[in-house]
Amino acid sequence: MRRARFIVIDGIDGSGKSSQVKLLRKKLGSRAVFTHDPGGTPTGEAVRAVLLGSKTLSPLAVFFLFLASRAALVEEIIAPALKKGRMAISDRFDSSTYAYQVCAGKRPEYAKLIRAFSGEVLRKAVPDAYIILDSDPKKARERLLTDRAKDLNAYDKKPLSYHRAVRAGFKKFKPKGSKIYFVNADRSIDTVHKDVWALVSRILK
């Protein structure tokens, strides 16, 4: 039997991840399990509430909470799905920890910890590919501000310079054993989807 595929969709806040994941869900239906990081499990959602709700957490505590949420997500959702031969698509994953905590948060010493955690601990769920939606932070911010359904979280509210550092962080992310693709996300939702779908189809072949 062919090995099931695991694909991560990532990018800065407002780059259009949720919109693209929704379109992929329409195309792939029950062939894939769709999830998001942080969250995706009861434990992960509780951790996510702490992460997005607290103003007093230290950078190290934040870092390990993201990893804790991801451990639950892999063990409870992603690894079991892949084992059953289902595909998994995650809205964010360790690429976000690298771009946000290591690069924008200026903690280069955490990069080694991510590599150890992702390579050793999460080896049952190494993504086949990361698709990064590359967007100008100014445009992404405008989209978030005009989307009334969205409550801005503490990360969304950070200055543009922070989001520029996150964007640069994604560009520096070099996952071991996975492919990484960048898609220009500053085009219409349908045009971006065409490129994302072309990549997903290629990865699934």
Tell me the DSSP string of 133-196. Answer: EE--HHHHHHHHHH-TTPPP-TTTTS-HHHHHHHHHHHHH---TTSEEEEEE-SS-HHHHHHHH
DSSP state of 58: -
Residue 189 interacting entry, from ligand TYD, ligand ADP, none, C-beta within 5 to 8 Å by type: ligand ADP
Region 18-77 residues binding ligand TYD, contact defined as CB under 6 A: 18, 37-38, 66
Q: Which stretch binds ligand TYD (CB under 6 A): 10-18, 81-89, 121-129, 179-187?
A: 10-18
- Both tokens assigned to 57: 């957490």
Binding site residues, ligand ADP, CB under 6 A: 11, 13-19, 143-144, 147, 185, 188-189, 192
Q: In whole angstroms, what is the distance from residue 172 CA to residue 132 CA?
A: 12
Please report whether residue 97 would count as binding ligand TYD according to CB under 6 A: yes
Q: In whole angstroms, what is the distance from residue 137 CA to residue 97 CA?
A: 18
Q: In whole angstroms, what is the distance from residue 103 CA to residue 73 CA?
A: 23
Q: Which stretch binds ligand TYD (CB under 6 A): 11-19, 20-28, 169-177, 179-187?
A: 11-19
Please name which of 1, 14, 27, 12 lies closest in space to residue 199, comparing C-alpha atoms. 27
Please report whether residue 92 would count as binding ligand TYD according to CB under 6 A: yes
Please report whether residue 96 would count as binding ligand TYD according to CB under 6 A: yes
- Both tokens assigned to 138: 């100014």
Instruction: In angstroms, give the least distance from the CB of 114 to ligand TYD.
Output: 9
Residue 173 interacting entry, from ligand ADP, ligand TYD, none, C-beta within 5 to 8 Å by type: none
Name the region of 153 (left: φ>0; alpha: ψ -120 to 50; beta: rest).
beta
Name the residue whose CB lies closest to ligand ADP: 16
Instruction: In angstroms, give the least distance from the CB of 85 to ligand TYD.
Output: 26
Q: In whole angstroms, what is the distance from residue 114 CA to residue 122 CA?
A: 10
Which lies closer to ligand TYD via its Cβ, residue 33 or residue 62? Answer: 62
Instruction: In angstroms, give the least distance from the CB of 144 to ligand ADP.
Output: 6
The footprint of ligand TYD (CB under 6 A) covers 13, 17-18, 37-38, 66, 92, 96-97, 100-101, 153, 155
